Amino acid sequence: MSGAPLRAVIADDQALVRTGFGMILSADGIEVAAEVADGADAVAAVRRTRPDVVLMDIRMPRMDGIEATRRILAERPDGSDGTRVIILTTYDLDHYVYAALTAGASGFLLKDVTPEHLVAAVRLVRSGDALLAPTITRRLIERFAHRDEPPAALHRDLSDLTPRELEVLRLLATGLTNAELATRLTLSPTTVKTHIGRILNKLDLRDRVQAVVLAYESGLISPGSTP
């Protein structure tokens, strides 16, 4: 990707949102590969243009953003270099947003986002980071994570993690940043990043958002837990 402009697709059934976001991205040197009004066209646009990032509305005709996200991420060639999805929403604590995160989205933005935050978010997600503040991640997932599974029923893949990696995942899910993890575990920030990278690789996860979701869904951590 070195030297190539960052490319985005905007999927929203409101023309004003598409036009406004497109102008903001273009003004900052981000190429808008396509603007579409529904999920089905979003899937087709991604197949055709292979963008770095998709800004995806949830409620759209024909196919909603959740199903479109699921199809787009299922088709990409690998978990590191494919298209990433940012969900556009009106409310942050929305079960549709949670469903989109479990489908593989790398985060969400409120539609009243500032131009500066919009551009920074697109660039952040393309770099491989997740777009969710730790506190918002936790509030959202605690509200909507499944609670009907026995607390001890761990996801089978968690058995691949070392005790230290399980500890890092557990603390990560409580909302700690990398810097806070380093302080808590008396490790360097670089070592913390290495542990998180290994966790994502072993569990075949795209980013830390999916890691946090898995920690709750698997019962490794339960709603209300504190760091």
133-190 pLDDT, tens digit each: 555 666 776 676 655 444 444 454 688 899 999 999 988 887 777 888 899 999 998 9
Per-residue pLDDT reduced to its tens digit, 192-227:
989 999 998 898 887 777 888 888 878 887 766 555
Mean pLDDT over 14-24 rounds to: 95
The confidence score (pLDDT) of residue 132 equals: 64
Q: Where in the chain is the domain with CATH 3.40.50.2300?
A: 7-131
CA–CA distance, 109 with 121 (Å, rounded to integer): 8
Q: Which segments of the chain belong to CATH 1.10.10.10?
A: 153-218
Dist. CA 186–CA 88, nearest whole Å: 37
Strand order across the beta sheet in which 53-57 lies: 31-36, 7-11, 53-57, 84-89, 108-110
**CATH class assigned to 7-131:** alpha beta
What per-residue confidence (pLDDT) applies to 78? 47
**Residue 3, φ and ψ in degrees, nearest 5:** 85, -20
Q: Which has the higher per-residue pLDDT, 82 or 88?
A: 88
Residue 155's φ and ψ, nearest 5 degrees, are: -60, 135
Per-residue model confidence as pLDDT tens digits over 95-135:
777 788 888 888 888 888 899 999 998 998 887 666 665 55
The model's pTM is 0.75
Q: Which CATH class is domain 153-218?
A: mainly alpha
Which letter, b or e, does each residue of 126-160 get, where b requires 16 or more Cβ atoms within 10 Å of its Cβ? beebbbbebebbbebbbebbeeeeeeeebeeebee
